[in-house]
Structure 1
Amino acid sequence: MPEDQGRPADIKALFRNTTAPAGRIDIDAAIGAGRRIRRRRRAVAGAAFAATAALAVVGVALPAAQPGGGSPVAGQRAAGSVPTAETFALVSLTAPQANLSCRVDRLRDPAGSREIEALGSDPTLRYVVGQQAHGDGGTRPILWADGRPQALRVTDSAGREPISAQPTDVNSAGLVVGSGTRRDRTSFAWTHRQGRSVPLATPAGYTSAHASGVNDRGDVVGNAFNDDGGDGVAVVWPAGDATARVLPAPDEATKGYWAGDIGDDGTVVGSVGDGEAAYRWKPDGTGAELPTAGKLARGKAISIAGDWVQGWGDAQGERKVVPAPGAKGTTSGRSAALPVVWNLATGKAIAWKGLEEPEVNGAVSRTGRLAVASAHRGEPILVADQGAVSRIAGSESVMPVGISADGRRVLGEPLPAATDQRVAIWSC
C-alpha cells in the first residue's frame, strides 16, 4: 500500500482517538495506528455495551449558553473554571429492554466502487458523506443525496487536486466539508457544494489544517497544526468566509487544543490538549471545561446536536487495565473510559458504564437519543433514550456514524465482520 494512501482519514481518526496531545504527534509514525481506527468516525474511547450496564448521571451547574454573540477573537484567553458538582448517582440498567423493529435502506455504492466508507450525515440523513478508495492509492469524497451517490472533486488554492481527500461532515443544505493532502504532505480544509469546491485558508503560522464539522448556518470548525510538531489549535471559518479565526486558548491548554464540532448557534466543542479535558466554547469565544463532577479524569467532546454534546471520559477511581486488542494475556495499561453525553441547557451529564474496551462509536440526536456500538465485539447498535435501552435488530458489527435530529433514523457503517457490506440507514 502506498505510504500516503488514506492520509486524511488516518490523521482524522488519529486526532479523534489518540491519547497524545494534539499538535505533538509524529504524523508518519502515527499513520499505522490511524489506519487501525479509520472505520470509527466520532469514536469514543471506552466502555463496550454488554448485556448488563450501569448509567452514571452527573448533575452539575453549567454556565448558561449565550445565543448569538460575536465571533471568537484570536489570541483572547478563554475562561477555564470547572463548575461545581451538585449530584452524582449510579442507576443500574439491565439488558436492552426490546429489539427495535426498523426498516433498513441500503445505500447504493458508486460506480466502480472499491472500498466504501460512510463517515457522517446531516441532521435529516438526506445527505450522507463518505470516501472511496482510489486506484492511485488515495481516497476520494462521496456524497449521497437522497440515496444517489456522486463523487466530489476538490482542489487547493492553486487549483490542484490533492493526492487524497476525505469528507468529514455535511449540513442540511448539502454543504460538505473535509480535508485534503497535498503532494508536499501538508493538508488543507475545504468545502464543496453544488459542484463548487472552495479551499479554506490555513491560519498564519501553521502548515496544515483540517475541517471537522459544519453547522446548518455554514460555519466550519476544525484544527490547524504543523507537520513538524508544535501545538495544534482549534479554528472556525465563519459562513461565507474562507479566512480562519483561531479560537481562544483554554487556560489549561499547555499542549494545544482541539475542536470536533460546531452547533447551529456557534457553540464549539472539543478538548484541552487531545483528550485532557472535554471543552466547549460559547459563540462569543468564552469557554470552559465540560463538567464531570470530579468523576472523570480526562475527556473529549466530539459532536454537538442542539443542546446535546457527545464524547468520552476516563473514569477516575474506577480505572481498569484494558487488554490489548488481538493480544491475549497482554495488557495495554490504558485506563477505562466511558461514553458521555452532556446537556448544555440543563447542566446534566450522563456517563455510561459497562465492560471496558478501547473504543466504541456513538452519535447523539437533538432529542438526546444516543446510538452506540462496540468497535470490537460485533454486537448490535444500542439506542439509549431517557434511560431505556433498546437494540437495533440486524445491526451486528455496524458502527453508528450518524443519527437524525429526532433520533428515529441511524446511519451505519459496516465493519469487516458485517454480513452486508453496504452502508445502511435504519428507520425505527
Structure 2
Amino acid sequence: MNPLQENPLQELRDLDGPGTALTADGLLRAGRARVRRRRQAVVGLAAVLVLVLTVGSAAIAGLRQPPQPADRGRPYPAPTSGLPSAPPNCDVQMLPLPSGVEGTGPPVIDSTGHWAAGLMDTHTGVVIWRDGVILSVDGDEQVQYLHAVNASGTAVGTANVAGRSAAVTFTDRMNVLPLPGGVPVSASLSGSGINAAGTVVGYYTAAEVSKPVLWRDGKAELLTVPGGSGAALWISDDGWVGGIVGRLYDAYRPYVWRPDGTGFELPLPDGVGKGMVNAIAGEWAVDFDNHVRWRLTTPGTPAPQPFSVAQGIYVRALAADGTVTLSGSKMAAVWGFGDLVGLALPAGFSKYQMGGISADGRVIGGAAQHLMDANTFGGSPFRWVC
C-alpha cells in the first residue's frame, strides 16, 4: 500500500493540484480521521504543509548521480538586495538524483535560494541539494512528509518513529525532536517549519487537542495559544510564527506569534468561516486555501487582502515582497500585486507541480511527471533560477 493512502490529507481537492499546503478541508478530514483511528487503536498520523507528487521512473532517466559528502559551513545570509520577485527570464535546472532514487516531490527551497530538499519517492528519506549539487541523503527512514529547509541545509518534516508520528530534522541523518515536558509519549508530533537560526516549529496532537510547539537549541517549549488548542505551521527567519488557533477539525482561525512569543488572531474576509497562516516571509503572511494575504507591519490589526485565483490553480509558496507562486497541472506562475508571470516548463513531461520559493523570489522549486504515472509518488525535481 502506498503510505500516503493512510492519511486523509492526501485526498486533494483537485488532481491537478499537489498537496503542498494545509487546506481547510484537509484539516477537517484529518481531525475526523484522527478520531476514527484512535477508536480503532491505530496510531494517527498528523501532518501539515504536505508536499505530494506522483510520477513513474520513466520520467527521470539520466538525472542520477551518487551522493557527495555533506559540506554545509555557515548559513547563507538572507537576501538583502531588494530585487523584485521572479523576473520573467528564469532558467530551468533539473536536479540530480542519487543512485536508486526514482524521484522526489517538488523541492522545498530555503530563504536564500541556495538550498533545496525533496522527499524520496519511496518515503524512506530526503535528498538535500546545495546550489543544485547533492550534498546529503538520508535513505533509511519512514518519512511521511517534508515541509521546509533552512539556510544551513537542515530540513524539517514528519516521520514514523516507533509506531508514532514524530517531528524530525534532516542533515546527513535524521534527528528526532523531543516531546515537550508533560506530553504523553503516545502523542503524535509534526514538524512543519524551520528558520535560518535553526528554530523549528510544529505541533503535537493528543486526546483530540493540538498544541503549538517550538524547538530552540533542540529543546521543546509550548507556545501560548488562546483557548488551549492550536498549531504552529511556519516560522520566518525573523522569528514570526504562523499557524492556527482552535481545534483542527473545528472553526480554526489564522494566528501569528511575534518573536517574543505574544500572539494575535488575524481577521478573515467577510463570509469566510475558518483559515490559517500557511507561510510568513518578510512582512507578509498568507493563507493559501482562502487566497488571503496580511501585511504584518500594518499598524493595529492587519486587514485581510484577498486575491483572485482561477479555479484549479493552487497557491504554493510566498516570497518576502508578498509574491505568491501559482500551480496548475500544466502551468506555473508567480503573481505579485497585479502582474502574473508565467514560468517556462521543462520539456518532455505532461504535468508539473511547484514547491518552495526563496525570499527574493529568484529560486523556485518544482517537479515534473508524466500524466500516465499520476497514481505513483515521485517525480523529476528541478528548480527555476531567475
In the superposition, the TM-score normalised over structure 2's length comes to: 0.72
Which of 150, 159, 168 aligns to 1:171? It is 150
The sequence identity of aligned pairs, in percent, is 26
Note the aligned Cα RMSD (angstroms). 3.7
Task: Give how far 1:307 is off.
Answer: 1.1
Name the amino acid aligned to 1:236.
Answer: L
Residue 264 (structure 1) aligned with residue 237 (structure 2): yes
Name the amino acid aligned to 1:208.
Answer: S
Secondary structure of 1:233 counterpart: strand
Task: Give how far 1:122 is off.
Answer: 0.6
Which of 221, 227, 233 aligns to 1:245? It is 221
Residue 143 (structure 1) aligned with residue 128 (structure 2): yes
Distance in 1 of aligned mates of 2:120 and 2:204: 25
What's the CA shift string for 1:132-165, capped at 9, x where partnerless?
A: 133xxx43111112212355348xxxxxx64445
Name the amino acid aligned to 1:353.
Answer: S
Distance in 2 of aligned mates of 1:243 and 1:8: 30
Which of 344, 348, 357 aligns to 1:393? It is 344
Q: What are structure 2's unaligned runs of at least 5 residues?
A: 12-18, 54-86
Which of 137, 142, 160 aligns to 1:181? It is 160
Distance in 1 of aligned mates of 2:307 and 2:271: 12
Residue 339 (structure 1) aligned with residue 285 (structure 2): no
Residue 383 (structure 1) aligned with residue 341 (structure 2): no
Matches within 5 A, 1:15-414: 16-17=22-23, 18-20=26-28, 25-26=33-34, 39=52, 100-134=88-122, 138-150=123-135, 152-153=137-138, 162-164=141-143, 166-183=145-162, 185-193=163-171, 195=172, 197-203=174-180, 204-206=182-184, 207-226=187-206, 229-238=207-216, 240=217, 242-251=218-227, 256-272=229-245, 273-274=247-248, 276-312=252-288, 338-346=290-298, 347=302, 349-357=304-312, 360-374=314-328, 378-394=329-345, 397-414=351-368
Distance in 1 of aligned mates of 2:28 and 2:154: 31
Larger Rg: 1
Secondary structure of 1:353 counterpart: coil
Distance in 2 of aligned mates of 1:5 and 1:192: 24
What's the CA shift string for 1:350-403, capped at 9, x where partnerless?
A: 32224444x7232111122211123xxx24112112321221133773222111
Distance in 1 of aligned mates of 2:225 and 2:323: 31
User: 1:100/1:9 Cα in 2 relative to 1: closer, same or farther (>3 Å)?
Assistant: same
Q: Counterpart of 1:322?
A: none
Distance in 1 of aligned mates of 2:239 and 2:130: 25
CA contact (8 A) 2:51 2:105 kept: no
Task: Give how far 1:117 is off.
Answer: 1.4
Name the amino acid aligned to 1:177.
Answer: V
User: 1:3/1:100 Cα in 2 relative to 1: closer, same or farther (>3 Å)?
Assistant: closer
Name the amino acid aligned to 1:339.
Answer: H
CA contact (8 A) 1:22 1:232 kept: no
More strand by share: 1
Q: How many residues align?
A: 322
Name the amino acid aligned to 1:199.
Answer: V
